[in-house]
Structure 1
Amino acid sequence: MTTHYEIIVGTMLGASEYVAEAIAKMLEQQGNTFTIHLEPTLNDINKDSTWILCTSTHGAGELPDNIQPFAKSLKDADLKGVNFYVIGLGDTSYDTFCHGAKEIETTMKNTGATLLAAPIHIDVLEHPIPEDEAVARFESTLETA
Structure 2
Amino acid sequence: MDRHFTLIVGSVLGASEYVADAIAEALRARGYKVTILTQPDMDDIEADSTWFICTSTHGAGDLPDNIQPFAAQLEDEDLSDIEYFVVGLGDSSYDTYCHGAIAMETLMNKGGAKLMADPLHIDVLHHPIPEDRAVEWLEPILDTLD
Q: Indicate whether the TM-score tops 0.5.
A: yes
Aligned-partner Cα distance in 2 for 1:120–1:3: 21
Aligned-partner Cα distance in 1 for 2:8–2:36: 6
Superimposed CA distance per residue, residues 88-141 of structure 1 (whole angstroms, 9 cap, x where no aligned partner): 000000011101000100100111111011000100000111001111111122
Match of 1:8? 8
Aligned-partner Cα distance in 1 for 2:92–2:22: 23
Q: 1:28-39 residue pairs with structure 2 within 5 A?
A: 28-39=28-39
- Where does the alignment leave 5 or more consecutive residues of structure 1 unmatched? none
Aligned-partner Cα distance in 1 for 2:46–2:2: 15
8 Å Cα contact 1:54-1:88 kept in structure 2: yes
- Where does the alignment leave 5 or more consecutive residues of structure 2 unmatched? none
Match of 1:103? 103
8 Å Cα contact 1:91-1:125 kept in structure 2: yes
Q: 1:9-48 residue pairs with structure 2 within 5 A?
A: 9-48=9-48
Q: Which runs of 4+ in 1 moved over 3 A?
A: none
Alpha-carbon shift at residue 64 of structure 1 (Å): 0.3
AA of the residue aligned to 1:77: E
Q: TM-score, normalised by structure 2?
A: 0.96
Q: TM-score, normalised by structure 1?
A: 0.96
Q: 1:123-134 residue pairs with structure 2 within 5 A?
A: 123-134=123-134
AA of the residue aligned to 2:140: S
8 Å Cα contact 1:47-1:79 kept in structure 2: no
Q: What is the identity percentage for the equivalent residue pairs of Structure 1 and Structure 2?
A: 59
8 Å Cα contact 1:120-1:138 kept in structure 2: no
Alpha-carbon shift at residue 144 of structure 1 (Å): 4.2
Match of 2:49? 49
Superimposed CA distance per residue, residues 49-105 of structure 1 (whole angstroms, 9 cap, x where no aligned partner): 100000000111000000000001100211111100000000000011101000100
Aligned-partner Cα distance in 1 for 2:79–2:39: 19
Aligned-partner Cα distance in 2 for 1:140–1:94: 30
